Amino acid sequence: MRNTRALAVAGAAVAALGLSAPAAVAWDTPSNITALPSVIARGGQLTITVDGCRNGGTATSNAFSPTQLSPVGGGGKGNEGGRGGMGSGTARGTATIHNDARPGSYDITVDCNGRRVTKSQAFTVIGGVRGGIGGSSTTGATPTDMAIGGGLVAAAVVGGGVFWMRRRAERNI
Protein backbone atom coordinates (compact mmCIF):
# COMPACT_ATOMS: atom_id res chain seq x y z
CA MET A 1 0.00 0.00 0.00
CA ARG A 2 2.84 2.39 0.81
CA ASN A 3 4.47 1.72 -2.55
CA THR A 4 1.22 2.52 -4.32
CA ARG A 5 0.88 5.88 -2.57
CA ALA A 6 4.51 6.76 -3.22
CA LEU A 7 4.11 5.81 -6.87
CA ALA A 8 0.92 7.92 -7.16
CA VAL A 9 2.61 10.96 -5.58
CA ALA A 10 5.67 10.58 -7.82
CA GLY A 11 3.44 10.26 -10.90
CA ALA A 12 1.50 13.39 -9.94
CA ALA A 13 4.73 15.33 -9.41
CA VAL A 14 6.12 14.27 -12.78
CA ALA A 15 2.82 15.18 -14.49
CA ALA A 16 2.75 18.62 -12.83
CA LEU A 17 6.35 19.30 -13.81
CA GLY A 18 5.75 18.05 -17.35
CA LEU A 19 2.72 20.27 -17.83
CA SER A 20 4.34 23.39 -16.37
CA ALA A 21 7.66 23.22 -18.26
CA PRO A 22 6.22 23.98 -21.74
CA ALA A 23 4.15 26.84 -20.27
CA ALA A 24 7.26 28.45 -18.81
CA VAL A 25 8.98 28.43 -22.20
CA ALA A 26 5.85 29.60 -24.05
CA TRP A 27 5.74 32.96 -22.25
CA ASP A 28 8.84 34.11 -24.13
CA THR A 29 7.36 33.32 -27.54
CA PRO A 30 4.62 35.57 -28.91
CA SER A 31 1.50 33.60 -29.78
CA ASN A 32 -2.27 33.74 -29.83
CA ILE A 33 -2.75 37.07 -31.58
CA THR A 34 -6.35 38.21 -31.04
CA ALA A 35 -8.04 41.15 -32.78
CA LEU A 36 -11.38 42.37 -31.43
CA PRO A 37 -13.77 43.05 -33.01
CA SER A 38 -12.93 40.61 -35.78
CA VAL A 39 -15.11 42.55 -38.25
CA ILE A 40 -14.66 46.32 -38.17
CA ALA A 41 -15.61 49.36 -40.24
CA ARG A 42 -13.09 51.85 -41.57
CA GLY A 43 -12.11 54.40 -38.92
CA GLY A 44 -12.96 52.00 -36.07
CA GLN A 45 -10.70 51.00 -33.18
CA LEU A 46 -9.26 47.49 -33.04
CA THR A 47 -7.94 45.97 -29.80
CA ILE A 48 -4.97 43.65 -30.34
CA THR A 49 -3.95 41.17 -27.62
CA VAL A 50 -0.86 38.95 -27.77
CA ASP A 51 0.18 36.22 -25.35
CA GLY A 52 3.88 35.67 -24.67
CA CYS A 53 4.83 39.29 -25.16
CA ARG A 54 5.48 40.37 -21.57
CA ASN A 55 7.77 43.32 -22.40
CA GLY A 56 5.44 44.81 -25.01
CA GLY A 57 6.10 45.18 -28.71
CA THR A 58 4.70 46.50 -31.98
CA ALA A 59 1.78 45.36 -34.13
CA THR A 60 1.65 46.23 -37.84
CA SER A 61 -0.83 45.73 -40.67
CA ASN A 62 -1.70 47.30 -44.00
CA ALA A 63 -4.98 48.53 -42.48
CA PHE A 64 -3.49 50.59 -39.61
CA SER A 65 -0.32 52.43 -38.57
CA PRO A 66 2.25 50.60 -36.41
CA THR A 67 0.77 50.28 -32.93
CA GLN A 68 2.60 49.92 -29.62
CA LEU A 69 1.64 46.95 -27.46
CA SER A 70 1.95 47.49 -23.70
CA PRO A 71 2.28 44.76 -21.05
CA VAL A 72 -0.99 43.93 -19.30
CA GLY A 73 -1.00 43.73 -15.50
CA GLY A 74 1.99 44.49 -13.41
CA GLY A 75 4.51 42.81 -11.17
CA GLY A 76 3.47 39.88 -9.07
CA LYS A 77 3.70 36.29 -10.01
CA GLY A 78 0.88 36.18 -12.55
CA ASN A 79 1.38 33.48 -15.14
CA GLU A 80 5.12 33.50 -14.81
CA GLY A 81 5.34 30.88 -12.09
CA GLY A 82 7.05 33.06 -9.49
CA ARG A 83 9.80 34.33 -11.80
CA GLY A 84 8.83 37.92 -10.86
CA GLY A 85 8.74 39.30 -14.41
CA MET A 86 7.02 42.37 -15.81
CA GLY A 87 3.43 41.14 -15.93
CA SER A 88 1.16 38.34 -16.97
CA GLY A 89 2.97 37.66 -20.26
CA THR A 90 0.25 39.38 -22.29
CA ALA A 91 0.50 42.65 -24.22
CA ARG A 92 -2.34 44.78 -25.59
CA GLY A 93 -2.74 47.80 -27.84
CA THR A 94 -5.42 49.73 -29.71
CA ALA A 95 -5.13 50.48 -33.42
CA THR A 96 -7.31 52.81 -35.50
CA ILE A 97 -8.23 51.47 -38.93
CA HIS A 98 -7.36 53.83 -41.81
CA ASN A 99 -10.38 55.64 -43.28
CA ASP A 100 -9.23 54.63 -46.77
CA ALA A 101 -8.65 50.92 -45.95
CA ARG A 102 -10.16 48.65 -48.58
CA PRO A 103 -12.77 46.14 -47.44
CA GLY A 104 -11.34 42.64 -46.98
CA SER A 105 -9.27 40.44 -44.66
CA TYR A 106 -6.00 41.70 -43.18
CA ASP A 107 -3.01 40.09 -41.47
CA ILE A 108 -1.39 41.31 -38.25
CA THR A 109 2.36 41.01 -37.67
CA VAL A 110 3.64 41.32 -34.11
CA ASP A 111 7.27 42.05 -33.12
CA CYS A 112 8.13 41.40 -29.49
CA ASN A 113 10.93 39.83 -27.48
CA GLY A 114 13.04 39.87 -30.63
CA ARG A 115 10.62 37.54 -32.41
CA ARG A 116 8.16 38.14 -35.20
CA VAL A 117 4.82 36.34 -35.60
CA THR A 118 2.12 36.88 -38.24
CA LYS A 119 -1.53 35.89 -37.97
CA SER A 120 -3.13 35.74 -41.38
CA GLN A 121 -6.67 37.00 -41.82
CA ALA A 122 -6.76 38.26 -38.23
CA PHE A 123 -9.61 40.71 -38.90
CA THR A 124 -11.90 41.92 -41.68
CA VAL A 125 -12.54 45.53 -42.70
CA ILE A 126 -16.00 46.31 -44.07
CA GLY A 127 -17.13 49.38 -46.00
CA GLY A 128 -18.65 52.02 -43.78
CA VAL A 129 -22.31 52.90 -44.06
CA ARG A 130 -23.33 56.50 -44.60
CA GLY A 131 -26.88 56.73 -43.33
CA GLY A 132 -29.28 58.95 -45.21
CA ILE A 133 -27.68 58.81 -48.63
CA GLY A 134 -28.45 55.35 -49.85
CA GLY A 135 -27.13 52.72 -47.48
CA SER A 136 -23.62 51.58 -48.24
CA SER A 137 -23.00 54.06 -51.04
CA THR A 138 -19.61 55.67 -50.70
CA THR A 139 -20.22 58.64 -53.01
CA GLY A 140 -23.91 59.47 -52.55
CA ALA A 141 -26.65 59.53 -55.17
CA THR A 142 -25.57 59.98 -58.77
CA PRO A 143 -27.65 61.87 -61.39
CA THR A 144 -28.76 58.49 -62.78
CA ASP A 145 -29.97 57.42 -59.33
CA MET A 146 -31.90 60.69 -58.98
CA ALA A 147 -33.51 60.26 -62.44
CA ILE A 148 -34.62 56.71 -61.64
CA GLY A 149 -36.01 57.77 -58.26
CA GLY A 150 -37.81 60.75 -59.80
CA GLY A 151 -39.32 58.51 -62.50
CA LEU A 152 -40.61 56.06 -59.88
CA VAL A 153 -42.19 58.88 -57.86
CA ALA A 154 -43.82 60.33 -61.00
CA ALA A 155 -45.19 56.87 -61.94
CA ALA A 156 -46.64 56.48 -58.44
CA VAL A 157 -48.34 59.89 -58.64
CA VAL A 158 -49.81 59.15 -62.09
CA GLY A 159 -50.98 55.68 -60.99
CA GLY A 160 -52.60 57.12 -57.85
CA GLY A 161 -54.35 59.79 -59.91
CA VAL A 162 -55.73 57.24 -62.38
CA PHE A 163 -56.97 55.05 -59.50
CA TRP A 164 -58.65 58.04 -57.83
CA MET A 165 -60.31 59.16 -61.09
CA ARG A 166 -61.72 55.63 -61.71
CA ARG A 167 -63.12 55.40 -58.17
CA ARG A 168 -64.74 58.81 -58.59
CA ALA A 169 -66.26 57.82 -61.93
CA GLU A 170 -67.70 54.60 -60.44
CA ARG A 171 -69.61 56.57 -57.77
CA ASN A 172 -71.36 58.68 -60.42
CA ILE A 173 -72.88 55.65 -62.13
Q: Give pLDDT tens digits for 82-93.
A: 344 445 689 999
Q: What is the mean pLDDT of the chain?
A: 77
* Interval 134-141 mean pLDDT: 58
Q: pLDDT above 90 covers what percent of the chain? A: 41
What is the Cα–Cα distance from 56 to 96, expressed in whole angstroms? 18
* Interval 141-152 mean pLDDT: 88
pLDDT band for position 21 (cuts 50, 70, 90): very low
**According to the model, what pLDDT value does residue 86 have?**
47
pLDDT band for position 151 (cuts 50, 70, 90): very high
**According to the model, what pLDDT value does residue 145 have?**
85
* Interval 4-11 mean pLDDT: 54
Return phi, psi of residue 54, to 5°.
-70, -15
Tell me if 134 sits within 8 A of 141, measured CB to CB.
yes
The residues that bridge with 19 in the sheet, in sequence order, are none
**According to the model, what pLDDT value does residue 166 have?**
83
Burial tier of 154 (Cβ tally within 10 Å: 0-12, 13-18, 19+): exposed
Rounded to two decimals, the pTM is 0.54
What is the Cα–Cα distance from 41 to 20, expressed in whole angstroms? 41
**150 against 141, higher pLDDT:** 150
Tell me if 48 sits within 8 A of 70, measured CB to CB.
no
Q: For the sheet containing 90-96, what is the strand order?
A: 31-36, 45-51, 90-96, 64-71, 57-61, 104-112, 115-126, 39-41
* Interval 30-47 mean pLDDT: 90
3-state secondary structure of 14: helix
What is the Cα–Cα distance from 131 to 128, expressed in whole angstroms? 9
What is the Cα–Cα distance from 157 to 151, expressed in whole angstroms? 10
Q: Looking at the predicted structure, is the pLDDT value of residue 57 above 50?
A: yes
